[in-house]
Structure 1
Amino acid sequence: MDAISVRPARIQDVAAAAGVSVSTVSNVLNRPERVNARTAERVRDAVAALDYVPHPGAAGLRTGHSSSIGLVLPDVANSFYSRIARGAADAAYEHGYSLVLCDSGDAPEREQGYFTMLIEQRAVGAVVVPLSADPTRLSRLRERGIPLVLADRAMPAQEGCSVSVDDIAGGRVAVQHLLDRGARDILVVNGERTIRQCADRYQGARQAVRTRREARLGQVVAEEMTVAYGSDIAHGLDELPDGVFCTNDFLAAGLCRALGERGVKIPEDVQVVGYGDLDIASFVGTTLTTVRQPVEELGRAAVEMLLDEVEARTEHAHEARVFAPALVLRDSTRAVSDAPF
C-alpha cells in the first residue's frame, strides 16, 4: 500500500483556517504591530495547528536579502578551515542566520562564481578565507556589491573588515622557544612565500634568530603544506639541524614521522615546533609543541563583524582585528632542565 503524502501547509491554508486574508497572516508573521491582538492570536493558533513553516525565500524577496551568510573557504577538508567554519556557524546560528559553505579550492574563477550565486540568492554578505594574497583578486571580490569580511588575512581598515592572527609574532615565539631550549642551527620548513602567512611566520623567525649571534637560520620550501611533503623534506635532509620550525602542523607531523624512521630522536636529537595547534598535533607519536591560533574565534569574529556592517549600516566602522597566538608546550621540544646552557 502506497504511503499517503501530506502537502506542507501554505500561507493560504493558514489564512483560510483563521478566516483572514493572506496579507493579514503575513503581517502577523513579519509586522505583528499592525494587527490587533485578537486577530493575531487567531492566526498564530492556525499556524500552530497546521504546523506551518514560513518560506525564508519569500521573506528575502520582501526585504531584499535572505537570512543566509556565505563562507568561502579554500579547502573544507583541511581541519584549520573546518574549525573556522565551526566558529562562523556558531555565531551565525546565535544571530538567527544560516551559513552557506562554499569550497573555492582557492580558484579565483570559482570564488567569483560563488559570489554571483550568493548575490543571486540575496545573501546578506560573505566571509572569505583566501589562501593566495593577490590584491587584484581581493579587490574584485569587494567590488561585487556584497558586504565582505576577510578571515585569516589582514587588510587596511579603510578597505573593509578583516580578522587575522599576528603571524610575525607567532613565528618569533616559535623560534625563540627553540633558542631558549638550546637550539642554534634552526631550519624553517615553510610553505610558498607568496602565501602571506608563510612570509610573516618566516619574518618572525628571522627576528628571533637575530637576537643570538651564534644562531643560524635556514629555510626549505614545501610545494604543499601537507604531511607527505613534510615527510619528504625530512628524508631529504643531508645534515640535520638541532631545531626545526614548521609553519603548519601537517608539515611538522610528517617531518617528525620521517625523522623517526631515520632513527632520529625527538626532542633529544632534533627539537620541532609546529604551527596551528590542529588536532594532528596531539595525535602524532611525539606530541607537537606548537603555536596555537584562536581558529574558531576567527570564524566567530568574522561573522559578528559582518552582521554589524549589515545591521548597523551607516553606524558601522570597519576594523582590522588581530588575534595574538600562543605557544603550547608538548613533547617535541626539551624541558628547561634538559636544555644545554
Structure 2
Amino acid sequence: MAVNVRDVAALAAVSVGTVSNVMNHPDKVSAVTVARVQDAIKSLGFVRNDAARQLRAGHSTSLGLVVLDAGNPFFAELAKGAENRAMEEGFTVLVGNSDEKPEREALYLDLFEEQRVHGVLIAPFGDAMPRLEQLKARGTPAVVVDRAVDHPGFSSVSVDDEAGGYLAAQHLLSTGRRRLAFVGGPMPLRQVTDRLGGAQRGVAEVEGASIEVVETDSLTVRAGREAGEEISRRSAVDRPDAIFAANDLLAMGLLQALMKNSTAAVPRDIALIGYDDIAFAEAAVVPLSSIRQPSELIGYTAVQLLLREAESGPDYVHEHVRFQPELIVRESTGGRIF
C-alpha cells in the first residue's frame, strides 16, 4: 500500500497541516519539526503526489515542449536552453517528439493540456495555429519556436531561414559552382521552404546558375543517404556540382553515400553545405560547412517569452524574436574552382 501524508504525520507525531508546511513552506515550521518530518518521510519512503498538489494550487510548475525530431541534435540543444531558463525560475520541461507527424503533435498538445502545464513551446509541423488558439482560449499560453509566425496572439522565436538559405547558395556560388541542388523535405515544413526560397533567390542573382530540388520525406541521415545514392548513380554531366542540404543530418547522409559510391568526391566534384551546425558537422570525415543557428539560445529565449506572457494580463503585447544565421565554412565546400 502506498504511503500517504497521514502516515508521515503519525510517525512524526505532528498534524497533516504541519507536514504540508514542511514540504511547501518550511520557513513557517521550526527547524526541529522540519528535521523530524523529513526523517519520517525518508524512513517511510514517502513520495508526494505533485500532480494533485498542483491541481489544488491551480497551476503547474511544468512547461510542455513539442519538437519535430528528438533525434536531431538541434532540438536537443534547443531543449537544453529551454530547461536551463525554466530551472532558473523553478520550472521543469516535459518534452514530446512529434516525429514530424501531425497526429502525434496533436496527442502531445492534448496531453500537456490535460496535465495543466504552465505553458507550451512548440516547433509545429504544418499549421498548428487553430489548436494553439484553443489552448490559449482555455488558459494555456503557447510560444512557437524555430518558426516565425504572423499571428498577433502568439509570440515566436526563430532564425531567418530565408536569409540562411541565401547565405548557403551565395557561398556555394562564390566558389564557382553553378549547378546547385537543394536536398530537403517534407515541403509542408516552413523551415524547409524558407531555406529553399533563400537559396533560389541567391541563384537567381547569378547568370548561368541553376538549382534543382531533390525532395526527401524527412530530415534524417537515412533520407540524406537515399538522396546521395540517387545522385551518385547519375552521370557526371547530370550531377550537381554543389548541394545545399536543408539540415546537417541530411548532409551527413549525403556525405556517407557520396563517399561510399566513390563516383563524386567532396568537395572536389560536389561541394556540400548543411544547416544547423550541430556538433557532428565539425567532426565529420570531411568537416561540413553549415549555416549556424543559436539553438540553445532559441530555447532559452522562448521560455522567457512564455513565462512573461503567463504572468501578464490580456493586454500583453506578443513578441517575435528572429535571430540571424551565420555561415560556417569548413572543408566540405572547399575553395574556389575557377
TM-score by length of 1: 0.84
- Distance in 2 (alpha carbons) for counterparts of 1:32 and 1:258: 60
Distance in 2 between the 1:209 and 1:160 partners?
A: 34
The reply on whether 1:152 has 2:173 as its aligned counterpart is no
Q: Please say if 1:45 is aligned against 2:40.
A: no
Worse overlay, 55-64 or 151-160:
55-64
Report the CA distance between 1:79 and its aligned residue. Answer: 2.5
1:231 pairs with 209, 220, 228, which one? 228
| SS in structure 1 of the partner of residue 311 of structure 2 | helix
How far residue 229 of structure 1 moved from its aligned partner, in angstroms, is 2.8
Q: CA deviation at 1:291?
A: 0.6
Deviates more, 1:138-147 or 1:226-235: 138-147
Aligned to 2:263: 263
Deviations 1:225-276 (A, max 9, x none): 3333332332244412222211112222222233332332221222111111
For residue 278 of structure 1, what is the aligned residue in structure 2? 278
Question: Does the CA-based 8 Å contact 1:154-1:164 persist in structure 2?
Answer: yes
Q: Distance in 2 between matches of 1:272 and 1:107?
A: 28
Unaligned runs of 5+ in 2: none
The one-letter code of the counterpart of 2:218 is: E
Q: Determine which of 17, 41, 54 is the counterpart of 2:12.
A: 17
Deviations 1:143-192, CA, capped at 9 Å, x for gaps: 55411111112112512111111100100111111111121222222323
Contact persistence 2:8–2:37 (CA under 8 A): no
- Give 1:124-139 correspondences, 5 Å limit: 124-133=118-127, 135-136=129-130, 138-139=132-133
8 A contact 2:22–2:37 mirrored in 1 = no
Identity of aligned pairs, percent? Answer: 36
**Equivalent pair of 2:162/2:198 in contact (CA under 8 Å):** yes
* Alpha-carbon distance between aligned partners in 2 of 1:249 and 1:230, rounded to the nearest angstrom: 14
| Contact 2:185/2:246 (8 A) holds in 1 | yes
Answer yes or no: is the 8 Å Cα contact 1:70–1:123 preserved in 2: yes
Residues 103 and 232 (structure 1 numbering): CA distance in 2 closer, same or farther, change over 3 Å? same
Amino acid in the other structure paired with 1:310: A
Which residue in 2 is equivalent to 1:241? 240
Q: SS of the counterpart of 1:13?
A: helix
Structure-2 change in CA distance of 1:156 and 1:12 (3 Å): farther
- One-letter amino acid of the counterpart of residue 229, structure 1: E
Give 1:200's aligned residue.
194
Going from structure 1 to structure 2, the CA distance change for 1:224 and 1:295 (only over 3 Å counts) comes to same
Match of 1:218, SS?
strand
Residue 167 in structure 1 maps to residue 166 in structure 2: no
* Structure 1 residue 25, shift from structure 2 partner: 4.5
Bigger CA drift: 110-119 or 146-155? Answer: 110-119
User: Superposition RMSD on alpha carbons, in Å?
Assistant: 2.8
| SS state at 1:265 partner | coil
Any conservation in 2 of the 1:152–1:298 contact (CA below 8 Å)?
yes
State whether residues 14 and 46 of structure 1, in contact with CA within 8 Å, keep that contact through their aligned partners in structure 2. Answer: no
Letter in 2 for 1:304: Q
Alignment partners' CA distance in 2, 1:223 and 1:54: 45
Residues in 2 aligned to 1:113 and 1:197: alpha-carbon distance in whole angstroms: 22
Report the counterpart of residue 80 of structure 1 in structure 2.
74
Residue 302 of structure 1 aligns with which residue? 302
Is 2:208 the counterpart of 1:214?
yes
Structure 1 residues 8 and 253 mapped into 2: Cα distance closer, same or farther (>3 Å)? same
Query: How far does residue 314 in structure 1 lie from its aligned partner after superposition?
Result: 5.1
Count residues with an aligned counterpart.
Answer: 328
What SS does the aligned partner of 1:130 have? coil
Match of 1:56 in 2: 50
Distance of aligned partners of 1:106 and 1:143 in 2 relative to their CA distance in 1, 3 Å threshold = farther
How many angstroms apart in 2 are the aligned matches of 1:65 and 1:206?
47
State the alpha-carbon separation in 2 of the partners of residues 313 and 59 from structure 1.
25
- Please give the per-residue CA displacement for 1:190-242, whole angstroms capped at 9, x wherever unaligned: 32332111111111112212322232222222233333333233224441222
Aligned to 1:275, what secondary structure does the other structure show? strand
The range that moved more, 157-166 or 310-319, is 310-319
Cα gap change, 1:105 to 1:139, in 2 (>3 Å): farther
Letter in 2 for 1:92: A
Equivalents in 2 of 1:206, 1:322: separation in Å?
A: 21
